[in-house]
């Protein structure tokens, strides 16, 4: 299976390595037409405002939204911001793939660039992973269609909406592949 990694800006290389580790062929996506060759997409961390400008310039918005009707999209950190419905504190156009409202850098000094322990369940199996937070967005509210998979300090940090998953931290930095595996491999039959 081929999964795209949006490579306009940010931390996309490590996502490719995580995908390779679970037997998926990562495809670097720099132009909208490259979406035609993949069956899912990762939007990496980075700088959401910069990424949004580049997406706009490259004409990604419309094709990416229609791609997301058929295929799963996984966003980490800035990727989650771009996938949200609304960004409460920035003038940037999100894709609206996850019915969440986010606040950029919402954890402030509390867990500003820090690692915490995260416990959560997927398909009734428990996991305990490291969560590396780097100027992470906070999910400040969410709609009924959102399934919260993990919380930290009373706020969701892993969410699922329809076939899409958003994560406020960076699993790829700790070589954690379970969430990539979940969205692109094990969950495909449940959509």
What is the binding site for ligand GLN (CB under 6 A)? Answer: 45-48, 77-78, 81, 104-105, 134-135
For residue 16, give the 3-state DSSP assignment.
helix
85, 103, 172, 181: the active-site residue: 172
3 vs 78, which CB is nearer to ligand GLN? 78
Whether the CB-CB separation of 137 and 103 falls below 8 Å is answered with: yes
What is the DSSP pairing of strand 138-142 with strand 146-152? unpaired
Identify the helix (H) or strand (E) that includes residue 53.
helix 48-57
The catalytically annotated residue of 15, 77, 103, 181 is 77
In terms of Cα–Cα distance, which of 51, 66, 63 is closest to 12? 51
Closest by CA to 18, choosing from 115, 114, 118, 129, is 129
CB 11 to ligand GLN: min, Å: 7
Structure tokens given for 18: 């995580």
**Residue whose pair of structure tokens reads 């996506």 in the numeric block:** 29
Whole-angstrom Cα distance, residue 81 to residue 168? 8
Rounded to the nearest whole angstrom, what is the least distance from the CB of residue 14 to ligand GLN in the complex? 12
Q: Given the structure tokens 């793939």, which residue do they identify?
A: 97
Residue 33 annotated among the catalytic residues of the structure:
no
CB-based contact 175:133 (threshold 8 Å): no
Is 172 assigned a catalytic role? yes
77 as an active site residue: the answer is yes
Residue 172 CB, nearest approach to ligand GLN (Å)? 11
Active site residues: 77, 170, 172
């Amino acid at each position: 299976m081929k999964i795209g990694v949006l490579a306009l800006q940010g931390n996309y290389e490590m996502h490719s390595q995580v995908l390779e580790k679970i037997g998926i062929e990562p495809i670097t996506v720099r132009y909208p037409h490259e979406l035609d060759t993949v069956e899912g997409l990762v939007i990496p961390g980075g700088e959401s405002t910069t990424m949004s400008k580049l997406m706009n310039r490259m004409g990604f918005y419309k094709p990416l939204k229609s791609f997301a009707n058929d295929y799963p999209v996984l966003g980490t950190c800035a990727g989650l911001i771009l996938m949200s419905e609304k960004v409460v504190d920035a003038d940037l156009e999100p894709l609206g793939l996850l019915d969440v409202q986010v606040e950029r850098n919402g954890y402030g000094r509390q867990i500003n660039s820090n690692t915490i322990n995260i416990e959560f369940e997927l398909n009734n199996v428990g996991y305990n992973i490291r969560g590396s937070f780097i100027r992470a967005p906070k999910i400040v509210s969410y709609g009924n269609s959102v399934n919260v998979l993990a919380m930290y300090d009373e706020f969701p940090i892993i969410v699922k909406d329809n076939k899409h998953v958003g994560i406020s931290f960076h699993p790829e930095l700790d070589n954690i592949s379970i969430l990539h595996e979940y969205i692109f491999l094990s969950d495909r039959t449940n959509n």
